[in-house]
Amino acid sequence: MKHHVLVTGGAGYIGSHAVRALLAAEYEVTVVDFLKRGHLEFVHPDAHFFECDIGDMAMMRGIFQQQKEKGIPIDAVMHFAGRIEAGLSAAERDDFFYNNVACGERLLMLCEDFNVKHFVFSSTAAVYGEPEEIPIKEDAVLRPVNYYGMTKLEFEKRLEIEASKPDRGFSYVALRYFNAAGAHESAEIGEWHPHESHLIPRVLQAAKGEIKRLDIYGTDYPTKDGTCVRDYIHVQDLVDAHLLALEYLFGAGKSDVFNLGNGNGFTVKEVIRIVEEITGKTLNVVEELRREGDPAVLVADSSKAQSILGWTPKHPDLKDIIQSAWRWESRG
């Protein structure tokens, strides 16, 4: 039987890329997104689409029920929906808790009611906080330094409890992404967050002249040029890992967590230099003080995903990743 995957947040950046990959791999796909931060035009027309808050139990129950009655019951979930702006998370705790924990909890209740056994969750490097060792392995201490990371860790724990229920037969994979970047090769979908806080799209928007002054936060970190170091991973490589995780779960793989990154760290200033080289623009960079909740260095050890899921990033070069994001940003 064809598997049917519910993709929450499928109108957002990473979810919309996952939907295309699932459809290409011939999965049946249902997308749920309330479109507050996603885009209707990102939803592939071959997916069933419901504009709905995943916390709306009545409407969500109706969606599961309807697909079941059509003879194509949902049998797995990819859960992308959530709040992502770490910098806003302290000030907007209620909304982060609602979207990242409470909505997920309700989704798990429905999964139990409809006997959905497999779940792939978008977790984050933010669960590690300020790491003691670089590169970071999955068994590192989990001590988030921002509320966003706390909510993601909270839901990972919730998944662990669900998977430990006797007779439930539930299994999950939590994928801890480092910094997603890049766009679909068609340049039809890409990174597009309202109030963009991520570095690469912001720097590219500065190169387009949409941002006149590019603030960077903290130049006194213990790194080679004093700016924060991050590990950038192409969105298509992330999506490949999701499909492998799904196959792993359908193949009776046990619940687990995996880091997804390239294992190479780049400073904020290095990213800006690469963008200047690619776009031929010189940017007006303004050095500001550190922001709270930004760890100095986050670089992944993804060897576990490589050995257990058989995942190999196909676009590890940061220049290629930024080129692909630039094609999306400079689309007509």
Report, as residue numbers or ranges, the catalytic residues: 148
State which residue has the least CB distance to ligand NAD.
Answer: 12
Spatial contact of 118 and 76, defined as CB atoms under 8 Å apart: yes
Among 4-12, 105-113, 286-294, 323-331, the segment contacting ligand NAD (CB under 6 A)? 4-12
Minimum CB separation of residue 284 from ligand NAD in Å reads 25
Residues 73-112 that bind ligand NAD (CB under 6 A): 80-82, 84, 99, 103
* Distance (Å, whole) CA 169 – CA 135: 33
177 makes contact with ligand NAD (CB under 6 A): yes
Which residues, in sequence order, are CB contacts of 32 under 8 Å at separation 6+? 6, 7, 8, 9, 10, 50, 52, 54, 60, 63, 81
Q: Identify which of 199, 170, 168 has the alpha carbon closest to the alpha carbon of residue 271.
A: 199
12 makes contact with ligand NAD (CB under 6 A): yes
Does an H or E element contain 249, and which?
helix 235-250
Q: Identify which of 329, 327, 297 has the alpha carbon closest to the alpha carbon of residue 315.
A: 327
Minimum CB separation of residue 213 from ligand NAD in Å reads 23
180 makes contact with ligand NAD (CB under 6 A): yes
9 makes contact with ligand NAD (CB under 6 A): yes
* Distance (Å, whole) CA 189 – CA 10: 12
Binding mask 15-54 for ligand NAD (x = CB under 6 A): x----------------xxxxxxx--------------xx
Q: Identify which of 96, 103, 153 has the alpha carbon closest to the alpha carbon of residue 127.
A: 153
265 makes contact with ligand NAD (CB under 6 A): no
One residue of 67, 89, 124, 223 binding ligand NAD per CB under 6 A: 124
Nearer to ligand NAD, 179 or 252 (CB): 179
Spatial contact of 5 and 79, defined as CB atoms under 8 Å apart: no
Q: Which residues bind ligand NAD (CB under 6 A)?
A: 9, 11-15, 32-38, 53-55, 80-82, 84, 99, 103, 122, 124, 177, 179-180, 193
